[in-house]
Structure 1
Amino acid sequence: MLTKLFGSYRFSTFTGILILSATWVIPFIAHHTPVCTTPSPANMPLYNSIVSLFATFPRQQILTWLLLLFTAIYLNQLNSIHHFISAQTYFPASLFIILTTGFSHPYTLTPETLILPLLTWATAKIINSFKSDSLSYSFFDASFLIGIASLIYFPAILFIALLFIVLFFFRTFQWREWLYTLMGISILYGLVAAFHYLCDWPVKPWANAISMSFSTPRHFSFPSLWQSLFATMVVVLLLAGSFRMMQFIQSFKIFVKKIFMLWFIFFLVSVLLLFFSGLQPGILLPACIPLSYLFSQHLSTMRTKWLRELFLLILIALLVTIHVV
């Protein structure tokens, strides 16, 4: 039943995703305590500016909901275009919503939430480059998008490493693609510096935010027992999905194999963010992007239907409990 509700490729499933994505409203119903993020010197100035525009309830919550929903739909659209999951399914969108709302406080506008669409769009640019071995300008676009993400949340600059790893392992050497990768982020930061110079704005807030992003206390703990249980369930699915992927990845087409390797590298870079910010609200959101694809592939090819239903039931039950208790 849950598989049909959240995994099948039909309009009723999309309606279910909309309902599932609205779980952010549960804390307000249960506790009647609207929570809003406020600007802080520890955050990048661009993020503080966005937060100031959406500083009141419910504008901040609506923006957060729209960002998560847009990213979920875009993830599903990527699979519809490139067909790297075995079946046409809404599992990527459904699982992304479940993971993000389980690992974070989706009713607060964290910097990680804002960069999700940018990172997804940048990765889509890289996937497009896999279609041909000829010179691709996609790396400039991806670098520029990652640069914008780093202006919102500076540790996101680590995803530049993703581009160079792809260039080294998955592309035939073309020095212009390496140059485009460097130019994308360099031009963006050059424009920001020039704008501040022309407007006579101080760059010290940027420097302070960048330095503080590398000196944040690293606390690895979940705020509640239910989130710890949710994380344990995700780890179980991660191990099961990884084992199944290692069994079948050699049978995939080269294009599909490259895409899943790309998502694996994306996941590793996402894990690196933990060493800069610790286990803060929202820090695991970027990792939810590749995990949603891994779990989708695992669940859509799982032969034991009752076990698949059990996994989904436990995840959804824990998700609701996290936001109610």
Structure 2
Amino acid sequence: MLTKLFGSYRFSTFTGILILSATWVIPFIAHHTPVCAAPSPANMPLYNSIVSLFATFPRQQILTWILLLFTAIYLNQLNSIHHFISAQTYFPASLFIILATGFSHPYTLTPETLILPLLTWATAKIINSFKSDSLSYSFFDASFLIGIASLIYFPAILFIALLFIVLFFFRTFQWREWLYTLMGISILYGLVAAFHYLCDWPVKPWANAISMSFSTPRHFSFSSLWQSLFATMVVVLLLAGSFRMMQFIQSFKIFVKKIFMLWFIFFLVSVLLLFFSGLQPGILLPACIPLSYLFSQHLSTMRTKWLRELFLLILIALLVTIHVV
């Protein structure tokens, strides 16, 4: 039943995703403790400005819900356009919502949540470049988008490495594409510096936030036993999905192979973020993007239907428990 609900491509499935994405309201109903993020010198000034704009409950929570829902739908749209998962399905959107709300605190506006649409959009630009070996301006766009993400959450700048890895392994050498990649983020930071100079604004808050993003204590912990169990279940699915992917990836078309390799590199860069800001499970939010595709491919091709139902049931049950207990 769960497979039919989240794996089909019907309006009822979309309605189910809307309901599932609203699970962030459960903590307020259960505990009556609205939590709002607040500006801090440790955060990038752009993030602090956004938080100040959405300073009160429930504006932060509504924006968080919109960002998660938009990212989920965009992930599904990417598969609808490029067809790299075996079937037309809402699995990517459904699984992203489950993973994102399980690992994060969706009732607070975190910087990781704000950068999700930007990282997804940047990756979509890279995927577009795979359609042709001719010169592509997509790397400039992707670099610019990653630059914006780094202005909100500076460790996101690590995703620039994703662009260079793609250029080295997946593209024929064209020096202008490498130049476009450097220009995208350089122009953005140049504009920010020029704007501060013209307005006579201090750059010290930016420098302090950048330095603190790399000096954060490397402590990582889950908020509850249920979230630890949820993470364990995700690891089990990760191992099973990776093993199955290694078995079948050689049968994929070259275009699809490149896309899944891109998501694999995206996942590795996401894991690297733990070494820079390993404080809260919310740091795992970027990793939920490639995991949603891996799990979608795995679940949509599983022959054992009852096991597929069991995986989904356990994930959803743990998700609800995390936000209620």
TM-score (norm 2): 1.00
SS of the residue 1:172 aligns to: coil
SS of the residue 1:133 aligns to: coil
SS of the residue 1:56 aligns to: coil
Cα deviations by residue, 1:63-84 (Å, 9 ceiling, x for unpaired): 0000000000000000000000
Q: Is the 8 A contact 2:196 2:203 kept in 1?
A: yes
Find the aligned partners of 1:221 and 1:144 in 2 and give their Cα distance: 32
Q: 1:95 corresponds to which residue?
A: 95
Find the aligned partners of 1:144 and 1:159 in 2 and give their Cα distance: 11
**How much does 1:49 deviate?**
0.0
Cα deviations by residue, 1:105-156 (Å, 9 ceiling, x for unpaired): 0110000000000000000000000000000000000000000000000000
Q: Is the 8 A contact 2:36 2:57 kept in 1?
A: yes
Runs of 4+ more than 6 Å apart: none
Q: Is the 8 A contact 1:35 1:107 kept in 2?
A: yes
In the alignment, structure 1 residue 284 sits paired with structure 2 residue 284: yes
Q: Is the 8 A contact 2:217 2:279 kept in 1?
A: no
- Residue pairs, 1:58-137, within 5 angstroms: 58-137=58-137
Q: 1:220 corresponds to which residue?
A: 220
Q: 1:163 corresponds to which residue?
A: 163
**How much does 1:280 deviate?**
1.3
Q: Is the 8 A contact 1:219 1:278 kept in 2?
A: yes
Cα deviations by residue, 1:265-306 (Å, 9 ceiling, x for unpaired): 000000000000014141000000000000000000000000
Q: Is the 8 A contact 1:222 1:279 kept in 2?
A: no
Cα deviations by residue, 1:217-258 (Å, 9 ceiling, x for unpaired): 111221100000000000000000000000000000000000
Find the aligned partners of 2:59 and 2:236 in 1 and give their Cα distance: 36
Find the aligned partners of 2:245 and 2:30 in 1 and give their Cα distance: 40
Gap change, CA 1:279 and 1:240, over 3 Å in 2: farther
SS of the residue 1:303 aligns to: coil
| Gap regions ≥5 residues in structure 1 | none
- Count, aligned residues: 325
Find the aligned partners of 2:282 and 2:244 in 1 and give their Cα distance: 28
Q: Is the 8 A contact 2:220 2:281 kept in 1?
A: no
Q: Is the 8 A contact 1:144 1:185 kept in 2?
A: yes
Which range moves more in the overlay, 226-235 or 279-288? 279-288
Q: Is the 8 A contact 1:110 1:281 kept in 2?
A: no
Find the aligned partners of 1:40 and 1:280 in 2 and give their Cα distance: 16
Find the aligned partners of 1:37 and 1:30 in 2 and give their Cα distance: 20
Q: Is the 8 A contact 1:129 1:136 kept in 2?
A: yes
Find the aligned partners of 1:130 and 1:221 in 2 and give their Cα distance: 38
In the alignment, structure 1 residue 257 sits paired with structure 2 residue 253: no
